[in-house]
Chain A
Amino acid sequence: MLKPVVKGRGRVRAEVVRLDSPVSFLGDLNPETGRFAGVDVAGKVVSLPYVRGSTVGPYVLWGAARRGKAPLAIVAEKLDLMLVSACVLAGVPLFQGRLESGCVYIDLETGAYDKC
């Protein structure tokens, strides 16, 4: 069970992408292509340790969401006001915890999940 921080809605089947190093929305996320640190994350669940970097970060995630290139949800081990603001602004559900790569059925409201 993941701890829901910014709740979404619905239970969905999704692919999980693991990023093992902390990332910055500014510089690492390309809002035009949906590639995050070189990996395609559009429509997928991204599991990452934490985000770092500029206060501009929320704008970049918002830009990706406007283009339909944002992740379906973000799972982070550590949270801060920047990451929370970015997810709320962009409408991307946020959970605290950690997922392995692969396929999950995930409840975007409660954070309950099962492997496919």
Chain B
Amino acid sequence: MSREYAREVVLKIADAVSGGEVVPVETAHVSGVSFLTVGEYGVEFLEHLAASGARVSVFTTSNPAAVDLAGVLGVDEAVAKGQERITKALRAMGVNTFFSCTPYEFVITRQRTFHAWAESNAITYINTFRDAWSDKNPGPLALLGAIAGFVPKTPLYTLEGRRPTVLVEVEAGPLGPLEAGAVGALMGEQIGSGVPYVRGLSLTGEGARREFAAALSTYSAMVFAVVEGVTPNWKEYLEIADFREKIRISQGDVAKFLRNDETPDVVYFGCPFADVDSVLWVLAEVKKRGVPKRPIYISTSPGVYGILGRLVEEAERYNVHIFTGSCLVVSPHTRKFRTIATDSLKAVYYIPRLHGVGVVPCRRERCLDLAYA
């Protein structure tokens, strides 16, 4: 195995999907690192690869794991042990085990540079908001690409493959996180594949940007949209656009994602991981309103977690549980809940499917109200 094996596998995949052409990458981000999702065979593969002496040749980060870094989420011993084996193998290969789904927070991805990322929300974020180029690489391919230093040159690594094909006019906004996710999900459902060019998209802040990127890629195979006035080089993309379809999204369409029919037993923010402003907003609210009746869980990146410092302990006293390195999509801890209120449409999609747990999509403010209801 080792580096030769990785090169061979990536070249073989390239033979099948890109006529043998590959692109060198600057960074990689690997997914499929939670024991819950990869299971015993994933662990075996990673251990085998690590034992063969394979090492990543570019800066490589990893997606959230089944276990959080401070042990806020309880998991059984088998999961914890499996996760430990994964972490060990990743470290042996030189992968940065920050376990974050928002590596774009600290990885510099410049315009028009190539990256081998394998977490759809993060790929969509750097493609859309930075015009840094990554395709949606399956978890093992991103890792083998990180070792080899290159990945197959699929269309998204070319300007031609990024030519906008669908014009989307958004007649709603400014959009908070939930509404931004709803617009992303609607675009995903209605377009499915191709490259959308979005006009009229006004997002309230970083939380909304994250939710838009996450929902677009959860509800479709797309990992790139050009947002007029926002995506770097958007004018160039408009010039080369070849619109074959046009769709309109209105305020009424966005409302269809809201539901009020169930009472949650927990409120969850941070899918993708919450940025520092979002966490501080929740903390300011609970300080004003007192201890909520239902627990609030917030997953955030290791960087933000570090910045929060002692606020994490203070938050615990307000029934707000901040954690990092894992999330309620990939941790089996989620199965301890019955119904989860969340402003993340990605969580709304995956939690019932992976855990059989109910979800209530709500605007951030409404989710918080539900914690007190």
Contact = CB atoms under 8 A, between A and B. Distances in A.
A26 B353 CA distance: 14
A49 B40 CA distance: 27
Nearest to A96: B16
Interface in A30-65: 31, 54-56, 58-60, 62-63
Contact of A59 (B16, B17, B42): B42
What DSSP secondary structure best describes chain A's contact surface?
A: helix
B141 A59 contact: no
Interface stretch (A16-24, A83-91, A99-107, A108-116): A83-91
B140 interface: yes
B39 A6 contact: no
Contact of B41 (A6, A31, A85): A31
Contact of B31 (A55, A89, A94): A55
B45 interface: yes
Nearest to A60: B41
A66 B43 CA distance: 13
A56 B41 CA distance: 9
A85 B143 CA distance: 12
A5 B31 CA distance: 25
Given A55-B138, A58-B140, A85-B141, A66 B44 contact: yes
Interface string B269-292: 000000000000000000000000
Interface centre among B31, B37, B140 (most CB of A within 10 A): B140
Contacts of B38: 56, 59
A81 B44 contact: no
B16 A5 contact: yes
B302 interface: no
A54 B139 CA distance: 10
A88 B12 contact: yes
A11 to B, nearest CB: 21
Interface string B57-95: 000000000000000000000000000000000000000
**Which of under 10, 10 to 19, 20 to 34, or 35 or more describes the interface residues of B?**
20 to 34
Nearest to A94: B16
B16 A84 contact: yes
A31 B32 CA distance: 18
Contacts of A14: none
A5 B139 CA distance: 20
A8 to B, nearest CB: 11
B9 interface: yes
A89 B42 contact: no
A82 interface: yes
A56 B13 CA distance: 17
B137 interface: yes
Contacts of B136: 81
6 contacts: A56-B139, A58-B139, A62-B41, A84-B13, A88-B9, A89-B140
Interface of B: 9, 12-13, 15-17, 31-32, 37-42, 44-45, 118, 136-141, 154
The 5 closest A-B pairs by CB, nearest first: A63-B41, A59-B42, A59-B41, A88-B12, A84-B16
